[in-house]
Amino acid sequence: MDSSLPIIQGAELDTVMRANDISHAVNGNLLSNGFMDPRDLTIHSHEEHGDTQDSMLESSSDSTPPQTSPQPPRRKAYLPTGCYYDDRMKFHANADYSEDSHHPEDPRRIEYIMKALRNAGLVYTGGESDLRIMLIESPTKYLWRIPARNATENEICLAHTKPHFQWVKDLSSKSTDELRVMSASMDSNRKSLYVSGLTYQAALLSAGGAIETCKRVVLGELKNGIAVIRPPGHHAEFNEPMGFCLFNNVPIAAKVCMQDHPELCRKVLILDWDVHHGNGIQNIFYDDPNVLYISIHVYKDSNGGHFYPGKPEDETIPDGGIPNVGGGVGIGRNINIGWHSQGMGDAEYMAAFQKLVMPIGYEFNPDLVIISAGFDAAKGDDLGGCFVSPECYSHMTHMLMSLAGGKLAVCLEGGYNLAAISESALAVTQTLMGEPPRRIKIPPLNHRAGKDLEMVRNYHSPYWNCLRPGVVKVEQLQSRNAERFSVVARIYEKSVLSKKHNMINMPIMRNTSRAFQNQVLATPQIHQAKRILLLIHDPPEIFAKPDSLRNIVESQNAWMTTDLANYIEWAVENGFGVIDVNIPKKIEDDDKAPMHDKAPEEDQAQLSRDLLGYLWDNHLQINQDAAIVVMGVGDAYLGIKQLVTSRDAKDRIPCILAYVTGTLRPVRSETDASLRSWYRKHSLLYVNPDHSCWTDEYNRNKVAKYKYGNVQKSVASGLGNMLQHYEDSSTKWVL
């Protein structure tokens, strides 16, 4: 310990575990925390314990000499879980000592975690007389206290520059006024940092805790361990502090282990589940092939990645975006799982582990796994705005314990709701100690989050064999004159409808995009028809069974649905003219993305408004004697709202039929008060039985209002089944 720092006496230390300056002789070895070295936890002879039943184990023949055999190595299952904690880390506090000086990075964070561990019975609080026997007979019943120590300058400078180390050290010699000015300045910008006179001491203890926890796990002295430390580290760059962080604890520990024990620790996996991207860890190891850094964080790509820490001022420094995969010989070793928004929870984090983290982890095959364990993605943490449960943290920990022969070290990072961080850390610790992961009920996966995971997969498939199945190389396919199947499917539909009903292409002159080619088809002499079926629908559904190794779909293993063929057949037989409008999912002519999500609803609404408005103005309005039946299927049903609210069309439309599995939207007008009641009277909407308008009481009450139309709960599930089930009844209703 640095002699220049004040020594805190044992009485001032937290009493949850034994003070760091108390020593006891246990099994012949001295440790500063009253616990024995786990390597010496061997079962002693019965004579040593005065066991009176040893004669029951002897052979019936007194003449047979006792057999001796080498003592087998201790099984890992009987090694304890270590815990590092020192009360002095709480002395890093905001230099503003007013009543309202509390900061999200509250010193009580670590105290509350330790109280949760104690209250759960994970910390030994008994007497000295029982300690020795307890450690021998139940070595895994309690946490083993890792002695606290300061990180050295040489250790810290494995990950940081010497000027940065000196900057932190110099804080201890500054006046309170200087520290207040520094804190006010740094906490108001991207630095987001406060400092105090004891910040340096706390930072040394925090980094020392990460080192000791990781080293003892690497050496096999502990089964695994958790370091309850602060200040956190993962935002600290190699040359500057940032984001509540002074020294970057996890990289320091990883580098110490790799330097001091290269025969045991050559490859390290760092999994960072803090809700904020660990920019410091990423940049320290960006070109290191021996360290795999995986960060699961909120990125908010729609806002330019502005969720903290955002984009660096230096544009050459990578941020937490998915495309940043590492550099040089470390390419592919930096994996950013950046969520598109806040609000992610158990489904998204479990999917990230199952689809990406664990397959890549097994392929990387590390010697040590370190969790940068920020708990600000936990449910209840307002700063993170996500909903990860303690049960989910338990399962993620359990999965990572299957790597590196179980050598797992957990180092605390962020987490600012004291209740959430305590419960989450407790769940992780119980799992480390051998408790089965808590039972979890996983909700449906957020659709956009699923696309986020697919994007990560696409960017990293060149570097990991486990990610290659299912990845499509678009540019290679385009060089072979390949077409997206949505284009091919519509050409086929046009061919069938042209042959069967003489339907022809209706050119859309307002837009020259290839995406609109063949999208609108009409029966002959549509302008003379007395009644018209305006059919607005999604592209046909495609079902395929891909080859899992070759990543192709053979044509005999793919199917395309034609659910609307019977409706068109019925309309023609009953004297309707038909305008078949296929609303394309994407309208870009030249894009390289292998996978497209649904367009944002506002974009889809604008597309529908423009297309249907054009058809109304240039074709439907010309034939003023025709009654126009409007039928909407799937997401394209939203086009109905765009038509009746942007055009004075209701007097021409006797009825509206729709099949809905997605969003329900109200139809109302600021200028036509009668539109809502007209829509209710003249519409019939079949809605999927598992839609939230049936399962959620609030939504159920909303759709009962006139503006949503005549909404009926379907007994069939899925568009295809609904179209088949209600074909007869709905067409009779139209007539």
699 three-class SS? helix
Closest C-alpha among 188, 193, 192, 231 to residue 209: 231
Which residues have C-beta within 8 Å of that of residue 685, sequence separation ≥ 6?
A: 637, 656, 657, 658, 659, 660, 664, 708, 709, 710, 711, 712
Catalytic choice (92, 234, 235, 276) = 235
The single residue listed with the structure tokens 């408004």 is: 609
Q: How far apart are CA 553 and CA 479, in angstroms?
A: 19
Q: How far apart are CA 396 and CA 670, in angstroms?
A: 51
Q: How far apart are CA 581 and CA 601, in angstroms?
A: 18
Closest C-alpha among 133, 111, 91 to residue 17: 111
H/E segment holding residue 728: helix 727-734
Neighbours of 258 (CB within 10 A): 21
Which residues have C-beta within 8 Å of that of residue 179, sequence separation ≥ 6?
A: 95, 171, 195, 196, 197
Residue 235 annotated as catalytic: yes
Q: How far apart are CA 544 and CA 11, in angstroms?
A: 69
Query: Taking the alpha carbons of 81, 87, 88, 93 in that order, is the dihedral positive or negative?
Result: positive
Q: How far is CA 679 from CA 339, 684, 721, 731, in A?
A: 39, 9, 25, 18
For residue 706, the Cα-to-chain-centroid distance in whole angstroms is: 39
Phi, psi (degrees; rounded to nearest 5) at 697: -60, -40
Closest C-alpha among 293, 295, 294 to residue 307: 295
Do 734 and 655 contact (CB within 8 A), yes or no?
yes
For residue 316, the Cα-to-chain-centroid distance in whole angstroms is: 26
64 three-class SS? coil
Q: How far apart are CA 237 and CA 549, in angstroms?
A: 41
Phi, psi (degrees; rounded to nearest 5) at 224: -165, 180
Cβ burial 53-65 (10 Å sphere, 16+ → b, else e): eeeeeeeeeeeee
683-687 β-sheet, strand order: 504-505, 520-522, 577-582, 531-537, 627-633, 656-660, 683-687, 711-713
Phi, psi (degrees; rounded to nearest 5) at 673: -70, -20
- Tell me which residues are annotated as active site: 235
